[in-house]
Structure 1
Amino acid sequence: MPTQVNLIPEDAPFEEGQREWLNGLLSALAGWEGSLGGAAQDSGEAKESFPWHDPALEMDERMALAEGKPYERQLMAAMAQLDCGQCGYLCKTYAEAIAFEGEALNRCVPGGKETERTLKELGAAHQAANAGPAAEEPAEKPAAKPKKAAPLGSRDNPYMARLKSSTPLNAEGSTKDTRHVVIDLGDSGIEYEAGDSMGIYPENDPRTVDAILADLEVSGGEMVTTAAGESKRLRQALLKDLDVTKPSDEAIALLAEHAGDADEAEDLRMLSGQGAAEGQTLLELLRVYPSARPPLQALVDALGPLQPRLYSIASSSKRYPTEIHTTVAVVKTAVYGRGYKGVASTFLAKRLSLHGEVPIYIQRSEEFRVHADPDHPAIMIGPGTGIAPFMAFLQEREARGDAGRNWLFFGNPESAKDHIYRRELEAWRKQGLLSRLTLAFSRDQEEKVYVQTRMLEQAREFWVWLQAGAVIYICGDASRMANDVDHALHRIVAEQGGFDAAGATRYVERLTAERRYLRDVY
C-alpha cells in the first residue's frame, strides 16, 4: 500500500472522509505517495509528460511547447488527436515510426491539411539538417526477416464482415442523419472490448469515380500499379485505394505540371502551395482546370491513400459476441457552395447493401475502458455520436452486474427529433443502471444549452461524485466540445473545491494521471 503523509490534524474541523481526502490531495501535490482517493486503475511508473499532445491546442501552441524537443516529439506535437488510432499507431509510436523506421508521413487522417503540411515541413527540415555524405552501402544486405502474419481482424489483415442492419435514429425532419449500424462477425472469432473502435476500409462513391474517368477521357480498364505494388485496373484503384475527395499537394502540383493552359497552370501551382480547400475534390479540380491531364500512373502515384476510418463501438461483446454495433453520423454538407459527402459514413450507412461486405478491424483502446472496480462511479459525457462507447459501457456494466453508479450527459439539437437511443436510456434509468441522465438539447430553447452548460448547473453534485472517486469519460469532438467540457471541469473543481486556477489545474492533472479523466476525442 502507498504511504500517505497525514498533514490534517485529527482535531481539525473536518469529517473523517474529508480529512482523508485532504491528506491525499496534499500528499499528491507535495510529491509524496498517495492519491486523490477513488478509483485509480494503476499505480505503475509515472508517464512521460507530453503537454503538446492536446487537440484543444492550436497547432502553433502545440509546436511552441515542443520547440527544442527531439524530432520524434515534434512530429507527435503536429499530430492532432489523442491517440485516435486511425493511423494504426498511437501518436507517440507513429511519430517514432516516422523518425526511426521511415514510416510514411500521410497516415494522420483527423489532423487534416494543417497536420499533413506540418509533418512534411518537419520531415524536410530534419532531412536537410541531417544531410551529409551518403553512407557507404554494405557489400551485402542482410536478408529481411519474414513478417509475422497479422491476426485476423487487425489493420493489416481486416476481416470481410457483413452489414446486418443500418437503422435511422433521428425522427423525420431532423437536420441530422444518424444510423445505428450492426456488423455481423459471423464465425470469425474476432473479439473486442467496450472502449475499442471498429476500423473500416471504405470505398469511394462509384458515381464520383465514373465522373473522374469521364473527365480524364479514359475507360477505367487501364492497368496501374498502386503504392502497395499491386497491379489493378484504374477504376478499382480509384474506388478502393486512392483518396479522391482530398487531393494531395503532390497531385495538385502534378496537375499544374501537365496543364496546357498557362493561367490554369499558374493557379494550380499556387493551389499546390496552400492545399486544396475543404470540399475541393479531384473531380472539381479536373472540371475547373480542363487542360490539366497528367499521365494516369503519375496521378495514381501522386494521390494520397484512401485511409481507413474509425467508429466507436456501441456494444458490449458480453451481450453481442458475434456482432459489432456502432453509431454513424452520415456526413452530407455544403462547403463554400461545394456539396460534400463523407466517404466512410455514406459508404457504411447508405451505399453498402444489406449483407454487403466491408473490410473491418478492431482498434484496441489503451486506456478508454470500463473500470475494473465494479463499485466505481462513472460520469460519461457524450453528445451526438459521442454516446456510442457509453452504450457499450452501460451494457458492459449491466452484464457484469456492477454496483457502481452511472451518470450520463447527452446532448443533441432537438429533443423531439434527435434524442437517439431514448428508449434504451429511459429503460436503464427506470431499472437503476443509470443513476442520473442529464440531457442538453441546444435548440429546444432560445438560449443554446450544451452538455458543459448542464455540468455547471449541477456543479455541486458533480463535485460530490468526484470526491466519491468517479471516473470521468468524454467522447466526441476534440476541438470544441471536449475543450468546453474541460474548461467546465476546471471551473467546477475551482469553485466547489476552493482552489485557485493553478490548484484546479493540478487537481485535473492528477485525475488524468490516476486514469480518472479519460477522453476518446476526434
Structure 2
Amino acid sequence: MKLQVINSPFSEEQVKLLNELLPKLTVEQKIWLNGYLSASQAAVNAVVEEAPLTVTPTTKAVTVLYGSQTGNSQGLAEKYAAILKENDVEVTISSLASFKPNNLKKTTNLLLVVSTHGEGEPPDQAIQFYDFLYSKRAPKLQHLHYSVLALGDSSYEYFCKTGKDFDEQFEKLGATRIAPRTDCDLDYDEPAAQWFTAVQEALLRSTATATITNNGEVDVKGAKSSYSRKNPFYAEVLEILNLNGRGSNKETYHVELAIEGADFHFEPGDSIGIQPENDESLVDALLTALQLEGQSKVTVLEESLTLKEALQKKLEITVLSKPLLQKIAAFTVSEDFDALLKDDTAWKSYVKGRDLLDIAEDYAPFSWDAQQFVSLLRKIPARLYSIASSQKANSDEVHLTIGKVSYENNGRTRLGVCSGSIAERIQVGDPLPIYVHKNPNFRLPEQEETPIIMIGAGTGIAPYRAFLEEREELGLEGKSWLFFGDQHFVTDFLYQTDWQRWLASGILTKMNVAFSRDTDKKVYVQHKIEENAETFYKWLEQGAVIYVCGDKKSMASDVDRTILHIIEQQGQKTAEEAKAFVKELKQQKRYQRDVY
C-alpha cells in the first residue's frame, strides 16, 4: 500500500518529495526516522548542527527469550537482539531451555519469540519454562514489561496457542505488555517486523533520547545473505533419482541441486526451503468448478496478475483449515456448509485429505468475485527438506531426500504440492527457487569425540547422511550409531551403499535396521532401540547425543516413550526421575529432534 501525504502543513513541493520518498522506505528506515523524530528537540538540533553526530541512547536492559523447534523463532530473536545491541541497548538473549525461570524476578523488559508445535504444544525447549509459568511456583510479575511474538501455522486448529498461553499467563501474573502480542502464520516476515517496530516505538517512548537504527538483515552469525525466503536462488536441478526399488509402495527421490554462485552457508541439520507451485491441472479444474475466468486480473501481495497465475504460483489451494472455512462461509448460502462448520467432528473429518476443489464441487454456488476469492487465501508456504549432504564435501551442490506424497480420496488422486512436482513435472536442468533454512537446534556436537545416536525412518534418514559425510570430510572419529526404519529391505533401504561404505571405514560404528513389512510382526525403530537397551544406555552414560528425525505423531512419539522406558529400567529410576533426566538431556542439547 502506498502512503500519500495529504491535508498536511507541508508546502506543495514538500508534499511531492514526501510522497516520492515514503513508499520507497524499508521498515528499518521508517523505524530509524520515527526514532529520529521522537528524539528531544535539543538532540535534533545537535544532530542537525553537528552532523554526522548521533544521539547516545539511555541504556535500557532487555531480555530476549526464544522457544524454537525448527529455528524460525531463534533466528528472529537473534536478529532483533542484534539490532537492539547495535543501538547500545543492554541485551540478554537465551533459549527458554537455558533461561532460569527464577531470573524472571530480576527481569524488567522481556521479549518472547515462541513457536507452536504440533497440536498446540510448546516446542521441546520451551516445555520446562511453560510448565513453571503455570505452576504454583511462578512468581508475581508486577515489575515485568513484556511482549510476545507467536509463530504458528493457521492450517492447524490451535494456531499460535503456545504464544497465546504465554501472553495470557504473563498478564495473569501481573506483568504489563510493552506492545500487543502478534500471531504470525508461515509467511511471518512482515507481521514480525511490524511487531518489532511497535516494541521499539514503546521503548523509545520510555527512553526519550534513544534513536533506534537497523543496518540491515542480520542472520545468526551477523552476516548478510544475498538470497532468502523472500528472494530465493534459482538452483539448476542436476539429478532426480528414485531411491526405491521396483515394486516398492513408495517413491523417494534423491535430488541434487547446483548452488554455485548462491553464496549459501549451511551446516548438517539445516534445511532447504523450496518455493513450490500448484499443479496447473488442479488450478484449471478449480477455475472450472467455480466458474471463474482464469484471465481475470487480481491483486495478490501488491502484485497485479491473472487469476490463474495467482492460483498456480502464489496462493495455497490444497490445504483446508477452520479459519479458511470460516471465511468461505460468508460467501455461501449452503445450509450444509453451515452445518459442517458448526460440527467439530464433521469439519475435521471433511478437511482431511481434501482441498479447495472439493469445496467448490460440494458447496457451490458462491457469491464472490475473483478478487474477493483470492483475498481469502494465504500465500503458498515453502516446503522444507533436510539437507542430505555436507557443504564441506560438496561445495557447489546441495542434496535433498524427498518422499512423494500421493493418495486417493473422494475418487481423485491427490499429490503433494512440492513432492508431486518433483516426482512428475520437474526435469533435470529445470530451475528450482530455494533458500537455506537454518536449524540451530539440530547440530552435530561441538566436541568431535562425543558419541552420536541417530534415529530416523523413511526420509528422516536425510540429515544423517549429511552428518556422516561431514565427519568423513573432516576426519572425525567419534562413535556413531544409526537406527533406520522403512517398509522393505529389498526396495526401501535408502542410501544403502553409503551406510555400508561408512560402516566399512569406521565413520559409522553401528547400524540397526527395522523393515516393518518383511515379517508378520511389524518391527519399527523403537523395537530395535529396545532390543539394544543396555548398550543404548551405556552410550548415554558416555555422553552420547540423541537425534530423532521423522514423523512426530507416530515414530518420534514412540521413540520418545522407548527412550524414557530405557532410562527408567537401565538407570533404575522412577518414571518422574526418567522424565527429569530427559528434560536435562534436552536442556544440554543431548536430545535433539527434527520432527514434523
CA gap of 1:225–1:146, structure 2 versus 1, over 3 A, is farther
The CA deviation at 1:113 is: 2.8
Give me the whole-angstrom Cα distance separating, in 2, the residues matched to 1:233 and 1:79.
Answer: 37
Preserved CA contact (<8 Å) 2:225 2:263: no
The CA deviation at 1:350 is: 2.8
Q: 2:577 aligns with which of 498, 503, 509?
A: 503
Give me the whole-angstrom Cα distance separating, in 2, the residues matched to 1:183 and 1:355.
Answer: 9
1:245 aligns with 2:318: yes
The structure, 1 or 2, with the larger RCO (C-alpha pairs under 8 Å, 6+ apart) is: 1
What corresponds to 2:16 in structure 1?
A: none
What corresponds to 1:14 in structure 2?
A: none
CA gap of 1:145–1:156, structure 2 versus 1, over 3 A, is farther
Q: 2:96 aligns with which of 48, 51, 55?
A: 48
The CA deviation at 1:50 is: 10
Give me the whole-angstrom Cα distance separating, in 2, the residues matched to 1:214 and 1:124.
Answer: 45
The CA deviation at 1:207 is: 0.4
Between stretches 386-395 and 287-296, larger displacement belongs to: 287-296
> In the TM superposition, what are the counterparts of 1:202-213 in structure 2 within 5 Å?
202-213=276-287
Q: Which amino acid aligns with 1:372?
A: E
CA gap of 1:518–1:292, structure 2 versus 1, over 3 A, is same
What SS class does the counterpart of residue 253 from structure 2 fall into?
strand
The CA deviation at 1:388 is: 0.3
Preserved CA contact (<8 Å) 1:167 1:181: yes
What corresponds to 1:115 in structure 2?
A: 158
Q: Which amino acid aligns with 1:214?
A: T
The CA deviation at 1:216 is: 2.7
What SS class does the counterpart of residue 158 from structure 2 fall into?
helix
CA gap of 1:338–1:506, structure 2 versus 1, over 3 A, is same
The CA deviation at 1:100 is: 4.9
Q: Which amino acid aligns with 1:331?
A: V
Give me the whole-angstrom Cα distance separating, in 1, the residues matched to 2:322 and 2:411.
Answer: 22
Preserved CA contact (<8 Å) 1:255 1:268: no
What SS class does the counterpart of residue 114 from structure 1 fall into?
coil
Preserved CA contact (<8 Å) 2:98 2:587: no
Preserved CA contact (<8 Å) 1:196 1:362: yes
Give me the whole-angstrom Cα distance separating, in 2, the residues matched to 1:117 and 1:81.
Answer: 10
CA gap of 1:187–1:435, structure 2 versus 1, over 3 A, is same
Give me the whole-angstrom Cα distance separating, in 2, the residues matched to 1:236 and 1:378.
Answer: 47
What corresponds to 1:7 in structure 2?
A: none
What corresponds to 1:455 in structure 2?
A: 529
Paired residues, what number?
435
CA gap of 1:167–1:81, structure 2 versus 1, over 3 A, is farther
What corresponds to 1:186 in structure 2?
A: 260
Give me the whole-angstrom Cα distance separating, in 1, the residues matched to 2:378 and 2:239.
Answer: 31
Preserved CA contact (<8 Å) 2:155 2:319: no
Give me the whole-angstrom Cα distance separating, in 2, the residues matched to 1:417 and 1:493.
Answer: 34
What corresponds to 2:443 in structure 1?
A: 369
What SS class does the counterpart of residue 157 from structure 2 fall into?
helix
What SS class does the counterpart of residue 268 from structure 2 fall into?
coil
Preserved CA contact (<8 Å) 2:116 2:163: no
Give me the whole-angstrom Cα distance separating, in 1, the residues matched to 2:343 and 2:315.
Answer: 20
What SS class does the counterpart of residue 225 from structure 2 fall into?
coil
Give me the whole-angstrom Cα distance separating, in 2, the residues matched to 1:493 and 1:124.
Answer: 35
CA gap of 1:189–1:446, structure 2 versus 1, over 3 A, is same
> In the TM superposition, what are the counterparts of 1:60-139 in structure 2 within 5 Å?
76=116, 79-80=120-121, 82=123, 100=147, 108-109=152-153, 112-116=155-159
Give me the whole-angstrom Cα distance separating, in 1, the residues matched to 2:532 and 2:298.
Answer: 60
Give me the whole-angstrom Cα distance separating, in 2, the residues matched to 1:287 and 1:204.
Answer: 18
What SS class does the counterpart of residue 370 from structure 1 fall into?
coil
Give me the whole-angstrom Cα distance separating, in 1, the residues matched to 2:443 and 2:436.
Answer: 15
Q: Output the aligned Cα RMSD.
A: 3.8
What's the CA shift string for 1:489-516, capped at 9, x where partnerless? 1111122222222222222222222211
Preserved CA contact (<8 Å) 2:269 2:463: yes
The gaps in structure 2 that reach 5 residues or longer are 1-91, 100-109, 131-145, 177-201, 206-210, 218-223
What SS class does the counterpart of residue 243 from structure 1 fall into?
coil
The gaps in structure 1 that reach 5 residues or longer are 1-43, 52-69, 85-90, 92-98, 131-137
Preserved CA contact (<8 Å) 2:297 2:307: yes
Greater share of residues in strand: 2
What SS class does the counterpart of residue 269 from structure 2 fall into?
coil
The CA deviation at 1:338 is: 5.3
1:487 aligns with 2:556: no
Give me the whole-angstrom Cα distance separating, in 2, the residues matched to 1:518 and 1:156.
Answer: 28
Give me the whole-angstrom Cα distance separating, in 1, the residues matched to 2:225 and 2:409.
Answer: 40
Preserved CA contact (<8 Å) 1:202 1:348: no
Give me the whole-angstrom Cα distance separating, in 2, the residues matched to 1:152 and 1:271.
Answer: 48
Give me the whole-angstrom Cα distance separating, in 2, the residues matched to 1:147 and 1:360.
Answer: 25
Give me the whole-angstrom Cα distance separating, in 2, the residues matched to 1:497 and 1:418.
Answer: 35
Q: Which amino acid aligns with 2:235?
A: A
> In the TM superposition, what are the counterparts of 1:263-342 in structure 2 within 5 Å?
263=335, 266-267=338-339, 270=342, 274=347, 277-335=351-409, 339-342=413-416
What corresponds to 1:65 in structure 2?
A: none
TM-score normalised according to structure 1 size:
0.74
Between stretches 148-157 and 390-399, larger displacement belongs to: 148-157
Give me the whole-angstrom Cα distance separating, in 1, the residues matched to 2:230 and 2:510.
Answer: 41
What corresponds to 2:40 in structure 1?
A: none
Preserved CA contact (<8 Å) 1:315 1:325: yes
What corresponds to 1:35 in structure 2?
A: none
